[in-house]
Chain A
Amino acid sequence: MILAMRKMFAIEIASSMQYRVNAYLFAFSGMIQLLVTLAVWSAVITAHGSNIGGFGVPEVRGYFVTTTIIGFITTSWAGYIFFNDVRMGNLSVMLMRPIHPVWQAFAQVNAFKIFMVSVTVPLAIGVGLLYDAKFDGSHAEHLLAAVATAISLFMVFIFNYLMGIPAFWVTDIRAFWRAYWAISSFLGGGWIPLAMMPGSMRSIVPWLPFWAEIGFPAELAMGRLTHQQIVEGFATQLVWIVVFVLAFRILWKMGIKRYAAVGA
């Protein structure tokens, strides 16, 4: 199994190499988004006065540089590919292989990400240095944040793959996807820090998977979380992963039965 994964990964890297220009372009466009976010929030905090919720201008810049990096490391689009594969009938071929299609998707997405991240991380750090962004947090917290990011990578992957599972039953859920994107980017903390969300939301958002994916590792890396919050954050991540994996197994079984029944 491990050997198969390594082979698959090697194949996917070779395959992604052909599209590396696209990977670099995605990274570059992520930088544009980061720069816009930095400009907007710097203007907001300046207009407000000193700081908002513990975020002064340098802190908020550090925050968004961190969320950008984490966002790129953890992102996944395997669900959308899966959805198209099912609609186009490719699934039959994939099912003939001895390894579950989800692993191939995992390799594919992460191989492409290696190219993107190799550009994003240095550029984002460069932007941070250019703008005197502030990164606090002890070494221990940075280490924990790296662990949290790794967990988040799996979390985002499964969650996104679940977005593709409806392919077994419906023909087009792009409208739902748009809503999912809008909600997840808002609640994830990649556009607004938790401290600046409306008060009523602040008690709920940390328990949702979105913030556990992005905002939690970011604020952990910046040393902004208490011990209790760190524990709660990891617990949230793990609970949601279990939920997603269970949902995936159940829905996959149901979907495959239906797929086979329709005479694929």
Chain B
Amino acid sequence: MREMQYRAGFFMQIWMCTLKIGVGLGNLYIVFRQANTFNGWSLGHMLVLLGVFSAMQGFLNLIVVPSMNELQQRIQKGDVDFSIVKPVDTQVLESTQNIDPWFFIDILLSIGIIAFGFAQIGVQVGIASAAEFAVAMLATCTIVYSFWVGLGSLCFRFQNLFALMDMSANLLDTARWPISIYPAWMKILLTAFFPLVFATTVSAQSITGRSTIVSFVGLLAIAIAFFIGARLLWKSGMRAYSGASA
């Protein structure tokens, strides 16, 4: 609600959103000017992938990034103590404390892009595909949430890693494209350490009925593993945190 007070912020948000979507569509335009398919993906499928990526990015910027950005300052000021004494789990509190509601616009636009992509492909969505897609998106969001919480946990131990933001942005951009374009060694590294590429690819495939059982189950397994991993990292970070009064 506090965001609503600033009209300038509103226009800034619309502008940023437009830029982001514009960049995404611009990328596709450049790629598809040269050929009709991209590594076996048609324009429609790539649009769906773009929509999935934008939705994931929207989710990230809606809740996770604002909250985790605040975390570093809150650690330095000692405000995290207030979360610790509350009866609700600290990780839940810290990772959801800040919501940037403008990114609902991003998410709506992403759904629009997915729908547009569908129109290009001309395939009907079955119930099974839709359910599979919902679960895949949930897994994707879990992975991206876990990754950011893991990064945030580093703030308990290391101060001032401002380059991590830039690195995370670049890592995130890998997920714009289907995983098949990357060389084998990159595929392995990305799936092991930053499986968002795998996640967005499988999510985009699931709604168009192109995903396999193996990749879908793999995605769920990775999501669970990352969630647990993030939790462990968080706990470890909390142990290193001695509190503001120390």
Binding site for B on A (CB under 8 A): 19, 21-23, 25-26, 28-30, 32-33, 35-36, 39-40, 42-49, 52, 172, 174-175, 178-179, 182, 186, 192, 196, 198
Contacts and interface: CB of A to CB of B under 8 A. Distances in A.
Contact of B162 (A22, A36, A49, A186): A22
Given A175-B16, A192-B30, A44 B35 contact: yes
A175 to B, nearest CB: 5
Contacts of B164: 25
Contact of B171 (A23, A32, A182): A32
A21 B177 contact: no
A43 B15 contact: no
Nearest to A198: B33
20 contacts: A21-B161, A22-B162, A25-B167, A26-B166, A29-B167, A29-B170, A30-B170, A32-B171, A32-B174, A33-B170, A36-B170, A40-B31, A47-B38, A47-B39, A172-B8, A175-B15, A178-B16, A186-B26, A196-B30, A198-B33
Interface residues of B, number: 34
Nearest to A185: B23
Contacts of A26: 163, 166-167
A178 B13 CA distance: 12
A45 B34 contact: yes
Contact of B181 (A25, A43, A172, A186): A43
A39 B31 contact: no
Interface in B28-60: 30-31, 33-39
Interface in B146-182: 160-164, 166-167, 169-171, 173-174, 177, 181-182
A172 B36 CA distance: 42
A40 B182 CA distance: 8
A182 B161 contact: no
Nearest to B169: A29
B36 to A, nearest CB: 8
Contacts of B26: 186
Contacts of A175: 12, 15-16
Interface of B: 8, 12, 15-16, 19, 22-23, 26, 30-31, 33-39, 160-164, 166-167, 169-171, 173-174, 177, 181-183, 186
Contacts of A172: 8
B38 A33 contact: no
A75 B91 CA distance: 38
Contact of A39 (B8, B34, B169, B186): B186
A228 to B, nearest CB: 28
Given A47-B39, A178-B19, A192-B30, A25 B163 contact: yes
B34 A196 contact: yes
**Interface hub of B23, B39, B169, B171 (most chain A Cβ within 10 A):** B39
B177 A36 contact: yes
A186 B31 CA distance: 14
Given A28-B167, A29-B170, A48-B35, A174 B12 contact: yes
Contacts of A179: 19
Nearest to B22: A182
Contacts of B163: 21-23, 25-26, 29
B167 A47 contact: no
Contacts of A43: 38-39, 181
A19 B164 CA distance: 12
A19 B16 CA distance: 30
B182 A39 contact: yes
B16 A39 contact: no
Contacts of B181: 39-40, 42-43
B173 A33 contact: yes
